[in-house]
Amino acid sequence: MKMSIEKDLHARSGSKCELCGSEKELTSYEVAPLQNNGRVDDYISTCSTCKDQIENSDKMDSNHWRCLNDSMWSEVPAVQVVAWRMLNRLKAEGWPQDLLDMLYLEDDTMTWAKATGEGEDKDAEDFHKDCNSIRLEHGDSVVLIKDLKVGGGGSLTAKRGTAVRNIKLVHDNTEQIEGKVEGQTIVILTQYVQKNK
């Protein structure tokens, strides 16, 4: 299954990163939440540089993302979604706001783009926040502030102080995030985590 997605992505992208055009270290990036039952339309072809910065906002190099000037015009909805999300993350820089003002997304594509909470008004109350009311973003790292028993029949206890990297926001519940502890993906209540600075 995964191999056929990789093959289809290479064919669609011409073996290039669909964001910056690089031909080096290509991989697939799943654009959450899935819209097409995990088919190729839920993925984009990315280089390791783009993927790393999408997933780790602390590694963001705003100049790298000037590539969105071109890729935001892609006809592939998943590429449009990622371009829109990245421009929203960077809009404080000034130039991304100009691109956002020009970018038009179909209604269903815009709904997909907004599904992870990107682009929401930072003052809005309805967002994921840690135990200190600090906003959590997709890809952040957090630390557990108490021991948590992990369900599912296992005897795993996630210890206080455990770092959980590259979290995913549960898009329909602002009090929950997903993250990996000891290789197991678990749902964690946001009130029990503190964002890593």
Rounded Cα distance, 90 and 101, in Å: 13
User: Domain spans of the chain?
Assistant: 2-114, 142-195
Neighbours of 2 (CB within 10 A): 9
Rounded Cα distance, 161 and 164, in Å: 9
Rounded Cα distance, 106 and 9, in Å: 22
Instruction: Please tell me the pTM assigned to this model.
Output: 0.61
40-60, pLDDT tens digit by residue?
999 999 999 999 999 987 788
Rounded Cα distance, 76 and 136, in Å: 28
Q: Which fold has domain 142-195?
A: SH3 type barrels. (2.30.30)
99-134, pLDDT tens digit by residue?
999 999 999 999 999 998 887 655 445 789 998 888
Q: Which pLDDT band holds residue 1 (cuts at 50, 70, 90)? A: very low
On average, the pLDDT of the chain sits at: 89
